[in-house]
Amino acid sequence: MSADTAATPTRPSLLRNHGGGHAPVSYLELFFDLVFVFAITQLSHTLHHHLGWHGLLEGVVMFLAVWWGWIYTTWVTNWANPNRLPVRLILLAVMLCSLLLAVAIPGAFGDKGLLFAGGYVALQLGRSTAMAVLFRREGSARMRNMARIAAWFAASAPLWLVGALADDPNHRIAWWLAALAIEYAGPMLMFPVPGLGKSKGSDWDISGSHMAERCSLFIIIALGEGIVVTGSSVAGAELVDGGLLGALGVAFAGSALMWWLYFDLGAERGAQLISGNADVGRLARNAYTYLHMPIVLAIIICAVGDALLLEHWDEPAGRDLVLVQTGGLVLFIGGLAAFKRFANTIRNFPLSHGVAMILFALLGAAAWFTPIRSVEFAGWGVAILLLTAVWEWVSYHGGWAERMEAIGIPYPKRAYERFEARRAKRDGD
């Protein structure tokens, strides 16, 4: 074959192969997550040692930055193939920036503000700019989409750096909240940029199952913090007696039930919702980029509650424990209910979760005004989680109405049949 007719070699694509609708999680992505295991631990410990409304606000600001850095990188690894050398090098650089951010978390509102902000800006702006350059060879639409994202991070970057240079922590919070407001508005507005237009739904063609799996893994990371806190608290105790082991059991049961409530139905429903959907990008944005934030934050707050429980298990529940544990559980159940409602084709709010939120609020109010031992307070919280899990299990796995009728209580079956008839009629209309 002559030189004139020889085939021109083509460079392999930098994009993932979404054939079959699934892109498996790579080893590099799992390695990348290790930095965020450390970041979650840093957040949990910082919240634990800075209890109070101001400490909570600072913790929320840092969490929003940590989550935004992780979820954007997850979107990138959904598009780009981590096994390609240029993508791999970018992700390792992003991992280093994320580590700098995580290291700075305890002092982010002190002497490490510039390290925190600098690491975050380098993570977000550097990754988006580098991917925009790489995506030039993958088509103008992908390149423009990533360039729009980079432009939005460029707009927020000065606010991060100005805030880091502010001496007053309140001013720093204000600057950083303004930066986060810009960044969190970007996906909702589809990143409009003068000269580049704004993104379209077709620009967000992703593997929905990959996104669902990645966010499920982050839930595991957050739940793991509760396990680490529980184990390390007991391991470091001078005296390990039956009461402390009972408190450990209560804390573990709480983590296990939160896992159950998310993974029994929520994770599967979310994956089913977006798999094969024509508008998968918008669905993934709403279900995972936004609706998973309160779930993850709540799990971190509950880990702080576990630490407080194991420190004071045999004492009356203090107001810090009551506020942290009640607030964390209400936020978890509320966030999970919002996610499950979105992932449900009939968009109904889970009644079991609504009742649980009311019960948690009543439990918190009772413990606020009536002395109750910390382990008993936490035990009642676990009982409410168990009630919610059992309620949801028998509701969605079937057979509960028939079992009630078998013991002489026919009303639930009749009510269930009427509900199913109304739902069938509504779906038919």
pLDDT at 365 over 70: yes
Domain ranges within the chain, ordered by starting residue:
21-205, 216-382
Residue 87's Cβ-count burial label (10 Å; 0-12, 13-18, 19+) is: buried
Query: Any idea which of 1-10, 148-157, 193-202, 298-307 has the lowest mean pLDDT?
Result: 1-10
How is residue 230 written in tokens? 């529980």
Answer yes or no: pTM beyond 0.85.
yes
Burial of 326 (0-12, 13-18, 19+ CB in 10 A): buried
Query: What pLDDT digit, counting tens, does each position of 25-83 carry?
Result: 999 999 999 999 999 999 999 999 999 999 999 999 999 999 999 999 999 999 899 99
d(CA 143, CA 131): 8
Is pLDDT of 346 > 50? yes
Rg (CA), the chain: 24
Closest Cα to residue 277, out of 336, 208, 335, 211?
208
CA distance 86 to 138: 13
**For the segment 79-129, what is each residue's pLDDT rounded down to a tens digit?**
899 999 999 999 999 999 999 999 999 999 999 999 999 999 999 999 999
Q: Give 230's pLDDT tier (boundaries 50, 70, 90).
A: very high
Between CA 179 and CA 173 the distance in angstroms is 10
Cα distance between residue 128 and residue 132, in whole Å: 6
Check pLDDT > 70 for residue 353.
yes
Residues contacting residue 150 through CB under 8 Å, at least 6 positions apart: 125, 128, 129, 132
Q: pLDDT at residue 344 above 90? A: no
Model pLDDT, residue 240: 83
